[in-house]
Amino acid sequence: MDDNRGRPPLDEGMLAFYRELTAATPPEAVNWPLGEQRKSWNALCKSFAAPPPPGLETEDIEVARKDGSVRLRVYRPAGPKTRPGVLFMHGGGWVLGGIETHDDMCAEIAHGADVIVAAVDYRLAPENPHPAQLEDNLAALQWIRSEGTRHGIDAKAVVAAGDSAGGQMSASLALYLRDKKLPQLKGQVLIYPVLGHDLDTPSYRRNADAPCLTRSEMIYYWDAVLGSERHGNLQDKYLVPLAERDFSNLPPAFITAAGYDPLHDEAVVYAERLKAAGSRVVLRREPNLAHSYMRARHVSAACMEGFKTIVSAIRSLAHEGRVT
């Protein structure tokens, strides 16, 4: 654990969550065989899963992509009205997780923000390094824009959201759409996101052994997603958004950063660069929370408050086009 002097202590509910997480997947799990890591993480996420909100409908859909397909899970609140869409990309270091690990969070987002969430079961690294994830997310967005109306989605009102590596994917998607002069997102919600590859920022040093995510784990995840094209991919802004130099003409953003997280500083830097380029940005800092705090929302009042703020931001962006 890092030196806590001069900052708020870690939230007790967050700490209780971390202790349970560590009992199932200790820090050394990063050295386990990949199949064992995934099995353990999936089981742990299932153990924390909350029951779905009432009246919510879900549907799994296979969407075509180049050389295959990608699965989406669509979460639709009750009622026939058309709603904005949220393309949700899960975290897990590009290596772990999937639709099931984030099922309850996506359900609560759909219900709380009155949106239709399409969660992407994108291909995982290291079997599928960058740009496989971007390709899958683009295929999912194309499906929303071409077929979403049939599923009650307002195809012109789509927000990208994601936690950790999913935050990276959300930011990268906005950059890609701008560069290719394609219809832009209505907003981006970056939840304790991965945005840069500087592993020696003050927050990386301060939180090298912090709860829920460590520096050594991030090194492992980066090695997995960079693949054999490591040098080129490190220069690719669609994998490393902070490699970009032009942050103009990007959609409004809500960014949340956790104090006990190696990734804290890159979220702050990204928010500052977006603001300097004229984008509307809200940066919310959670000084006494750690990475993955959304998952602890039902065991920690502070984590639940942070989660509700995320849901509120999604609602504002999706329905009103403004960030709060």
Residue 116: closest CA among 125, 107, 126, 129: 107
d(CA 110, CA 153): 12
First to last CA, the chain: 33
In the chain, how long is the greatest CA-to-CA distance? 54
In whole angstroms, what is the distance from residue 141 CA to residue 120 CA?
10
Of 241, 37, 265, nearest to 130 by C-alpha is 241
Q: Which of 11, 121, 163, 261 is the catalytic position?
A: 261
47 is catalytic: no
Q: Which residue among the candidates 279, 291, 300, 316 is catalytic per the annotation?
A: 291
Catalytic position from the list 164, 203, 292, 300: 164
Examine the residue annotation and report whether 2 is marked as an active-site residue of this protein.
no
Burial zone of 314 (CB within 10 Å; 0-12 exposed, 13-18 middle, 19+ buried): buried
CA–CA separation, 110 and 25 (whole Å): 29
Residue 165 vs residues 8, 58, 82, 281, 313: alpha-carbon distances, Å: 26, 24, 29, 20, 19
DSSP label at 193?
-
Question: What is the number of residues in the chain?
Answer: 324
- Indicate the Cα dihedral angle 51, 259, 206, 218, nearest 10°: 40
Catalytic residues: 164, 261, 291
